[in-house]
Structure 1
Amino acid sequence: MSSARSLDAYSPPQAVRLAAREGALTGPTSGLADGFVQVNLVVLPEAQASGFLRFCQANPKPCPVLAVSEPGARGCATLGTDLDIARDLPAYRVYRNGRRSDTVPEVVDEWRDDLVTFALGCSFTFEHALQHAGLGVRHIEQGRNVPMFNTTLPLTTAGGFSGNLVVSMRPYSAADAIRAIQITTRYPQAHGAPVHLGDPALIGIADIGSPDYGDSVSVSDDEIPLFWACGVTPQQVLIDAGIEFAITHSPGHMLITDIPDSHLALF
């Protein structure tokens, strides 16, 4: 069995997926498989798929679509080889009639022939570029999951779906914040530039030390919190829509693909 202890930034995507498949990797994937794209997952019945696609097209910042599977397929050649969507994430969530299950390690028994998988870009992808530029990523440094927050920023209603934006947060000094914005702007398919920086109350966040998803991280007095659109957004949208059935990744527990990060960079 693959060991999660042996996984790090230099682990190939296949090794990370295998560790998740075998149950050795159960934690967040931030910082793993440097150089390869990580994706959020939303898996829906085909009857709701076209509506969700329209929602994503209307809200590309939180929902950048990288791939859509054929109905019932547990693989997707666009994302990688030897890939099992039902087993290759460290943790999943299942939704029934707008209610979310506890985290589960795989969804083989939940799989149906009518399920369509959406792979959405993830900010864990641009974290590699931040680190290569010498900018630390606080949650990786502190061994935690990225902090994520519900906001009051409204999404564009489309396809029968609506709601508010969810954001992820990373703190930087003023000089590093400018550089972080420049770097992440290169990756629009991984949420791109931040949607907000500074006072979290302006976007409806009451306490930056109490994230709605993930873990809290330290923020120094001389640092600015930067907020990026987050792929957890669809999860709250599914709940708000009272979706009959859906599967997603558990926040912070992504599918690592064989796609090089460089394929998403604009320049």
Structure 2
Amino acid sequence: MTGLEPAALTPPHEARALFRSGTDVPTAGWAPGHTQANLVAVPADWAEDVRQFCARNPQPCPVLDVTEPGSFTTRLAPASDLRSDVPRYRIWENGELVAEPVDATDWWRADLVTFLIGCSFTFESQLAAEGVPLRHIEQGRNVSMYVTNRPCRPAGRLSGPLVVSMRPVPAALVATACRVTRAMPAVHGAPVHSGDPAALGIKDLSRPDFGDPVVAEPGDVPVFWACGVTPQAAVMASRPPFALTHAPGRMFLTDVRDEHYRIR
């Protein structure tokens, strides 16, 4: 963290410029009202495996855009650069994390196909508007993410477990959180579970696999949503020769308004 607070009035293009200049922060709370996206780029000969994996696992992997091989632009933000406009990236070789650069330009390849996948940060502004507190933003932390005991449906060479994000929600507002997020299936939709984390194979909420531990308030219930870090878990499990992703919680900010993905 750099000490910067999420800038509620910062439009996406200005936020991307900050990230391009080296500002490395979780993006929860940034440019509220605009869709955020997970990023995973793989060599073209693995793209069909990823495409099918996403199609078979639409809740954790709802695809918003797919680029042509080598392209570093997206229709979701035409003036952006996918190589540099994320706060931090992850570089994978044979399933092993080898680097976490703030600029991935030197790692970019002409054969990379990039998938932009819906992110639960997108529905947070609507949760807040409905009175649901966002504890991780209140505490200045990244959201907590956990690898579960639920396998995703495999596709070709790609397989792996479901990853979830967790938000503590006051018990009286769990139904509200479910209603709000159910209306946004393109950004993970309704929770996959609420209550006892052991049902997902999670032993200790204070030790997330990705992100930061978030402290619950008295009366809060842990609520779990499918998470776009799931493809990273599949990369670790399936070991493609190369992959490039965002760092968990550090998303690509698009120019698209959240309303575009909300079912009326």
- The TM-score range, normalised by the shorter chain, is over 0.9
2:193 aligns with 196
Q: CA deviation at 1:6?
A: 7.5
Q: CA deviation at 1:239?
A: 1.1
Given residue 26 of structure 2, which amino acid in structure 1 is its aligned partner? Answer: P
Selected match of 2:231 from 231, 234, 239: 234
After superposition, where does 1:1-267 map in structure 2 within 5 Å? 5=4, 8-23=7-22, 25-76=23-74, 78-267=75-264
Contact 1:4–1:19, Cα closer than 8 Å, also in 2 = no
Q: CA deviation at 1:221?
A: 4.3
Where does the alignment leave 5 or more consecutive residues of structure 1 unmatched?
none
Q: CA RMSD in A?
A: 1.3
Contact 2:95–2:237, Cα closer than 8 Å, also in 1 = yes
Describe the SS at the equivalent of 1:101. strand
Percent of pairs with identical residues: 46
Q: Which moved more, 1:99-108 or 1:237-246?
A: 99-108
Length, aligned pairs only: 263
Query: Measured at CA, do residues 7 and 142 of structure 1 come closer, stay the same or move farther in structure 2, by a change above 3 Å?
Result: closer
Query: Measured at CA, do residues 230 and 134 of structure 1 come closer, stay the same or move farther in structure 2, by a change above 3 Å?
Result: same
Q: CA deviation at 1:174?
A: 1.7
Contact 2:92–2:99, Cα closer than 8 Å, also in 1 = no
Separation in structure 1 between the aligned mates of residue 111 and residue 99 of structure 2, nearest angstrom = 23
Contact 1:7–1:16, Cα closer than 8 Å, also in 2 = no
Separation in structure 1 between the aligned mates of residue 46 and residue 191 of structure 2, nearest angstrom = 29
Q: CA deviation at 1:51?
A: 1.2
Q: CA deviation at 1:135?
A: 1.2
Describe the SS at the equivalent of 2:232. helix
Contact 2:147–2:161, Cα closer than 8 Å, also in 1 = yes
Given residue 195 of structure 1, which amino acid in structure 2 is its aligned partner? Answer: V
1:61-87 C-alpha deviation (Å, 9 max, x unpaired):
1000000001101111x2112100000
Contact 1:53–1:159, Cα closer than 8 Å, also in 2 = no
Given residue 256 of structure 1, which amino acid in structure 2 is its aligned partner? Answer: L
Separation in structure 2 between the aligned mates of residue 232 and residue 113 of structure 1, nearest angstrom = 24
Contact 2:159–2:238, Cα closer than 8 Å, also in 1 = yes
Describe the SS at the equivalent of 2:80. coil
Given residue 180 of structure 1, which amino acid in structure 2 is its aligned partner? Answer: A
4+ residue runs over 3 A deviation? 3-7
Query: Measured at CA, do residues 166 and 6 of structure 1 come closer, stay the same or move farther in structure 2, by a change above 3 Å?
Result: closer
Contact 1:86–1:108, Cα closer than 8 Å, also in 2 = yes
Separation in structure 2 between the aligned mates of residue 4 and residue 32 of structure 1, nearest angstrom = 14
What's the TM-score, normalizing by structure 2? 0.97
Given residue 16 of structure 1, which amino acid in structure 2 is its aligned partner? Answer: A
Describe the SS at the equivalent of 1:14. helix
Q: CA deviation at 1:56?
A: 0.3
Separation in structure 2 between the aligned mates of residue 205 and residue 263 of structure 1, nearest angstrom = 33
Where does the alignment leave 5 or more consecutive residues of structure 2 unmatched?
none
Q: Which moved more, 1:254-263 or 1:168-177?
A: 168-177
Given residue 9 of structure 1, which amino acid in structure 2 is its aligned partner? Answer: A
Given residue 149 of structure 1, which amino acid in structure 2 is its aligned partner? Answer: Y
Q: CA deviation at 1:104?
A: 1.2
Q: CA deviation at 1:102?
A: 3.6
Contact 2:6–2:28, Cα closer than 8 Å, also in 1 = no
1:22-71 C-alpha deviation (Å, 9 max, x unpaired):
11x20100000011000000001110001110010000010000000011
Given residue 22 of structure 1, which amino acid in structure 2 is its aligned partner? Answer: S
